[in-house]
Amino acid sequence: MKRRRFVQSIPFLCASPALVAQSIAKIDTLSPDAVGKPVTRFFAASQLAALRRLSDIILPPIAGAPGALDAGAPEFLDFLVGQSPLATRTLYRNGLDTLNAQGMAKYGKAFAALDGTQADVLLSPLRVQLKYREHKGELACSTCTGSLVSADPFDVFLHHAKADILTATTNSREWITYASRNRGSGGNGTYWLAPE
């Protein structure tokens, strides 16, 4: 349509709002949260599979509450660890690779393919409470300062991963929705959402 023709049609359009409303195309919209799925970026496929299995073991769905997989905790940790300091990235990659290597050595399968009994054997360090050292009056992050007392980095990884999985799950949209619906309190309604 040429400019002159458009300008000539303005009075007609102003006089007939119903006609304008009919001629405007309606666009269906959705919330980005409803359609967006986090995309894995940091971990290799075998590492992410091990993290997903570890997450499901640490926090499965219980009595209607969402588990770590329902909450997308492994995908969020993929994003979070990928943005973390080098020490944390190294701790996670080495720890997940160790889980897979131990599974292959002991059972001939990667950690993600192990049954519950087999996985429980590899996760036995989680049954031991690690001790913390004081660092400037507070408990400091072991990956940053070495405050966890353990000679085995794999033990440190398992304890950090467990804490991170629990935190990621209980701070997810799915958990907040469940908590507000079933307990009457959803905190302040904020939750994490990994960027796409």
Note whether residue 164 is domain-resident: yes
Question: How many whole angstroms separate alpha carbon 122 and alpha carbon 98?
Answer: 10
* Nearest one of 106, 96, 78 to 157, comparing CA atoms: 96
Q: Which of 1-15, 20-34, 83-97, 127-141 has the lowest mean pLDDT?
A: 127-141
Note whether residue 133 is domain-resident: yes
* pLDDT tens-digit series, residues 42-89: 999 999 999 999 999 999 998 888 999 999 999 999 999 999 999 999
Judged by DSSP in three states, 82 sits in: helix
Give me the helices (H) in 40-134, please: 45-58, 73-82, 86-107, 116-122
Residue 195: the pLDDT is: 53
Note whether residue 114 is domain-resident: yes
pTM of the model as a whole? 0.68
Residue 138: the pLDDT is: 39
The share of the chain scoring above pLDDT 70, in percent, equals 60
Note whether residue 88 is domain-resident: yes
Residue 111: give the domain boundaries.
30-182
Domain count, the chain: 1
* pLDDT tens-digit series, residues 9-30: 666 555 555 555 555 556 666 5
Note whether residue 3 is domain-resident: no
- Tokens, residue 52: 């997903």
Give 77's Cβ-side CA count (13 Å radius).
32
* Average pLDDT taken over every residue of the chain: 76
Count the neighbouring beta carbons within 10 Å of the beta carbon of residue 167: 15
Residue 14: the pLDDT is: 56
Residue 155: the pLDDT is: 86
Note whether residue 126 is domain-resident: yes
Amino acid at 26: K
Note whether residue 89 is domain-resident: yes
Note whether residue 23 is domain-resident: no
